[in-house]
Structure 1
Amino acid sequence: MTRFPAFTSSRPDPGGRGREFGTHWGAAVRANHDGYLRLFEACGAGPGKVRELAERALAATAAWAPALAEEIGGIAAGCGLEPWQVAAVNARTEILAALRAGGEGECSTAVVLGAGRSPRTVQTWDWHDHLRDAPLLWAFETDGGRRVRTFTEAGVLAKIGVNGAGLGVHFNILRHRSDHADVGVPVHLVARRILGEAATLEEATRIARSARTSASTVVTVVTLEGVRALEICPAGVGVVEAGANGIGGVLLHTNHFLDPGLARGEDLGTERPGTYARLRHLEERADGLADPDLTARAGAMTCHAPVAPVCAHPDPELPFDQRWETLAVISLDVAAGAMRVHRGRLCQVAGTTWQTF
């Protein structure tokens, strides 16, 4: 089984860190940008429209977190792209929301708490199979001295990850009727700022609520003290605590809103109701998802049911923009400030396929 490439930055300053990353991973960033341009075009947006939306995202980022905009600019300088082009991959969720693109990938997340131990977590990361070579693992230290490790895509400042303060984030896409084309702060950058600055659930919640967003996502924040799902959308940020599914000490999430108020504006679940069946599958496997062995947890999560596969296999008969695949399985160890990552589908997990980062 192949492993994801990994990189450790030596520069703590945002611009320098970005330039170093862009110089080292320039080919990967450019390939990821080209892959997204292809996807955006299939969804109805040519380069001119993408540039317009990406520049809005960059302006919103600069107003909300100037250091993150500086880091995007550094990556662009290092790899020979324009800042808007790197902003486009960071804002890919926002651009797809603006285009009202359907068929987003189907990630599933499970977190099980236990007294006196680190939470047991696992999630699938499903996305378009033509972008399967985009992910990588990135370790860096912020200029404030916070250590961060993230599973992300080339050029994207963060996605799923853990920091040295004992906090981690899982990441699932959502879609809400309030999503709109006046592009705001990218949700991936909300996750990055949480990883870079937060040490508690409350700090993470404040950061999420401070951003003006235009697209939806759930960031599940995990600490030694507990877990909280932050359902982010333009209509607000919903907070879902462990036990919301009626199972004590357990927080499960797929791709629909659980907050009762925000659920009234659910958009993705109306198109892809399999998300509800996947959540029921996780609920039925809650005991297995608490197993101390990560490979056993992945096995408990695995499901190939036609209506709601937790392990996604691409259908070669579909157009590329409607195909997705489980490209990674990730678990966070917030106590150790580390992740374990499997490259490939959930049904391919074995004890020897985990990569510790």
Structure 2
Amino acid sequence: MDPIKLTLRGSPRAIGIEHGRSLRNQIRDQISIYESMFQTTSKLSWPDVREVSKDFQPFLKKLVPHIYEEMEGIAEGAELDILDIVALNCRSEIALGKFSDGCTALCWRKSNNARVLSQNWDWTARVSKNLAMISIEQTGKPTIYMVTEAGIVGKIGFNSAGVGTCLNAIRAKPMISSKVPIHVALRLCLESTSVDNAVKTLEYLGGVASAQHILISDGTTALGLELSPVGNKYIAEDKDGIIGHTNHFIENRYVEEPPWLSGSPIRLKRVGELARELIADGVSGDAITPSILRDRIFSDTFNSPQAICCSEDPSRDISTRSSTLFNVVMNLEPENLGAEVIFGRPGSGLEGSVLRMPWIAS
């Protein structure tokens, strides 16, 4: 079954209310799922999680008042407390690295200097029914097209200015609640008009609350943003115009990062090898299509279950088993701007049909 497609427009409050009202059941189910995960990984009940989220609340109000107003609207539309929505949007920070979501991201410069930005997003299959394709139209800002979890204001996608974002979770300390949570940082990137504008916005606001990687690109520039509360490193494209990233920092040494996903370095090496196999086969320019990336890179099961196309590891607790829930490939050429999304594990034979962003609103 295809995910919900939701078109939101208007003021921050109006956008939030429609989000909350339209995805009310999914947001409540997300809370139930994360309550179980927090209980398993951190011994925190949902009331405990809401209490922790109070640490973030005043800084969200101060740093990103328009996004906080949208969160208030989501809470109102879903008939929930604002702390429920703050907690969902700060779940990566509150978990303190206890959630083990993987992901493999790749940006590739085409011969005409445009970029293709792509990723598999790996997470617990229980949230798959609560994913939504959302477009957001705001006065004076680019229109956003993204795939996100119900109740969360920013995630993976692109905007009408040709800026795209992918996400890799990183498990590292410290976490500083006075800074911008990663899902809010993703939203800020998706409100930006260029990579440079996005980086300047995050730096102006004082950086992010937890260690994470955002792979960001526009029509002329791509950067791997290895972000942390205590310092950032920015990774440029290699000689082939490629940036690959998984779930460990490549250059950022400002944080305390214990090894936690043994498959992450293997996936990073593998995505580079597969991309260079395509280059050796003469794949470049317009031949770098979503279908060839899905078939030749994102369907790869080498080192399964911790593969680029991730499958559940039965040795892990059911609440934290990850698998690939969707693949997205974004073409950031200004004259051919758009993305293809498939839900499920690419190449498995069980994945859904190809969906496109933007889509025609019904």
| TM exceeding 0.5 | yes
Match of 2:292 in 1: 296
Structure 1 residue 165 displacement after superposition: 0.8
CA distance in 1: counterparts of 2:305 and 2:15, whole angstroms:
44
- Alignment of 1:248 with 2:245, yes or no, is no
Match of 1:284 in 2: 273
CA distance in 2: counterparts of 1:351 and 1:321, whole angstroms:
22
Structure 1 residue 214 displacement after superposition: 2.7
Match of 1:19 in 2: 17
TM-score norm. by structure 2 comes to: 0.89
Give SS of 2:95's match: helix
Structure 1 residue 109 displacement after superposition: 0.7
Identity of aligned residues (%): 22
- Superposition pairs of residues 214-229 of structure 1, within 5 angstroms: 214-229=209-224
- Alignment of 1:189 with 2:216, yes or no, is no
Go from structure 1 to structure 2 and tell me whether the alpha carbon gap of 1:314 and 1:47 turns closer, same or farther (over 3 Å shift): same
Asked if 1 retains the 8 angstrom alpha-carbon contact of 2:305 and 2:312, the reply is no
Structure 1 residue 54 displacement after superposition: 1.6
Structure 1 residue 351 displacement after superposition: 11
- Superposition pairs of residues 120-135 of structure 1, within 5 angstroms: 120-135=116-131
RMSD: 2.1
Q: Deviations over 1:296-320 (max 9, x none)?
A: 2112221232474111111345322
Structure 1 residue 83 displacement after superposition: 0.5
- Of the structure 1 ranges 82-91 and 46-55, higher mean CA displacement relative to structure 2 is found in 46-55
Q: Deviations over 1:236-284 (max 9, x none)?
A: 22111101xxx4211100111122xx2363525x122321111110111
Structure 2: unaligned runs, 5 residues or longer? 358-362
The one-letter code of the counterpart of 1:164 is: S
CA distance in 2: counterparts of 1:239 and 1:341, whole angstroms:
27
- Alignment of 1:204 with 2:203, yes or no, is no
The one-letter code of the counterpart of 2:58 is: A
Match of 1:330 in 2: 328
CA distance in 2: counterparts of 1:321 and 1:281, whole angstroms:
27
- Superposition pairs of residues 302-313 of structure 1, within 5 angstroms: 302-306=300-304, 308-313=306-311
The one-letter code of the counterpart of 2:329 is: S
The one-letter code of the counterpart of 1:252 is: G
- Alignment of 1:109 with 2:101, yes or no, is no
Query: Where in structure 1 do 4 or more consecutive aligned residues deviate above 4 Å?
Result: 349-352
CA distance in 2: counterparts of 1:205 and 1:114, whole angstroms:
23
Asked if 1 retains the 8 angstrom alpha-carbon contact of 2:98 and 2:171, the reply is no
Structure 1: unaligned runs, 5 residues or longer? none
Go from structure 1 to structure 2 and tell me whether the alpha carbon gap of 1:351 and 1:344 turns closer, same or farther (over 3 Å shift): closer
Give SS of 2:132's match: strand
TM-score norm. by structure 1 comes to: 0.90
Match of 1:275 in 2: 264
CA distance in 2: counterparts of 1:316 and 1:121, whole angstroms:
31
Asked if 1 retains the 8 angstrom alpha-carbon contact of 2:2 and 2:352, the reply is no
The one-letter code of the counterpart of 2:225 is: L
Match of 1:55 in 2: 54
CA distance in 2: counterparts of 1:266 and 1:282, whole angstroms:
25
Match of 2:68 in 1: 69
Give SS of 1:81's match: coil
Asked if 1 retains the 8 angstrom alpha-carbon contact of 2:185 and 2:208, the reply is no
Asked if 2 retains the 8 angstrom alpha-carbon contact of 1:107 and 1:124, the reply is yes
Asked if 2 retains the 8 angstrom alpha-carbon contact of 1:184 and 1:213, the reply is yes
- Superposition pairs of residues 17-166 of structure 1, within 5 angstroms: 17-43=15-41, 44-97=43-96, 100-101=97-98, 104-116=100-112, 118-166=114-162
Give aligned pairs, total.
Answer: 344
Asked if 1 retains the 8 angstrom alpha-carbon contact of 2:12 and 2:69, the reply is yes
Asked if 2 retains the 8 angstrom alpha-carbon contact of 1:162 and 1:337, the reply is no
Q: Deviations over 1:99-137 (max 9, x none)?
A: x415x1210011110232531232100001222212110
Structure 1 residue 183 displacement after superposition: 6.1
Give SS of 1:133's match: helix
Give SS of 1:39's match: helix
Asked if 1 retains the 8 angstrom alpha-carbon contact of 2:110 and 2:288, the reply is no
- Alignment of 1:263 with 2:253, yes or no, is yes
